Amino acid sequence: MTFHIGDWVVHPLHGVGQVINLERKLFAAGPDQAYYEIAIAQGTVWVLVEVPAGLRGLTAKGDLPAYRDVLQNSPTPLNQDYHQRRDELRERLKAGTFQAQCEVVRDLTAFGRQKRLSEPEATLLRAARDGLCREWAAAAAMSLAEATHEVEELLRAARHVHSE
């Protein structure tokens, strides 16, 4: 997929950012190569144009209703074995999709209501929820606080629907 200056993108490790430049750079021995310069909340990320390593376009605003449904659907039961559960959650997030992120946040939030999350699980949930909320805010053109509130309300509403 080709991106242009001004496009909003999602980096698999750094989250939401905006392509602000396309530049040839020399970062290692060898020829200079074309890179996307992406402004993210924490600074700048350079991503090789030729192999954009999981970089994807921002979720479209028109797709958010489907993701509202995902967050409100019944959670998928998670493996009771900690190690298998951790590996399965990481594998799901490796897909790098907004869908996978919504599902992991939904499922791990529901699991945490039944059983106390381990510190690594709580950290994973915080990171996944933060990424989800940041992308939601960018896609919906709203503040991070508004997006976080909406996501929390969707998860809260799902809890009431699926606990009855």
CATH code at position 17: 2.40.10.170
CB crowding 6-18: b at 16 or more within 10 Å, else e: ebbbbbeebbbbb
Q: How many domains does the chain have?
A: 2
What is the C-alpha to C-alpha distance for residues 8 and 16, in angstroms, rounded to an integer?
7
Q: Please tell me the predicted confidence (pLDDT) of residue 51.
A: 80
Q: Are residues 129 and 77 in the same domain?
A: yes
Assess whether 17 and 71 both reside in one domain.
no
What pLDDT does 12 receive? 86
**Count of other CB atoms within 10 angstroms of residue 36:** 24
pLDDT score at 163: 59
Amino acid at 158: A
pLDDT along the chain (164 residues), means of 10: 92 92 85 92 90 88 97 94 94 92 96 93 95 96 97 89 58
* Amino acid making up residue 122: A
The first and second tokens of residue 144, run together, are: 């991070």
Q: Is residue 3 part of a domain?
A: no
Q: What is the pLDDT of residue 28?
A: 74
Residues 40 and 92 reside in one and the same domain: no
Q: How far is CA 148 from CA 89, 107, 116, 137, in A?
A: 21, 17, 22, 8
- Among 41, 56, 71, the domain boundary falls at 56
**pLDDT for the residue numbered 164:** 46
Cα angle 78-129-159, degrees, rounded to a multiple of 5:
55
> What is the pLDDT at residue 161?
66
Amino acid (one-letter) located at 59: T
State which residues form the domain around 48: 8-56
Residue written as token pair 């929820």? 129
The pTM assigned to this predicted structure is 0.88
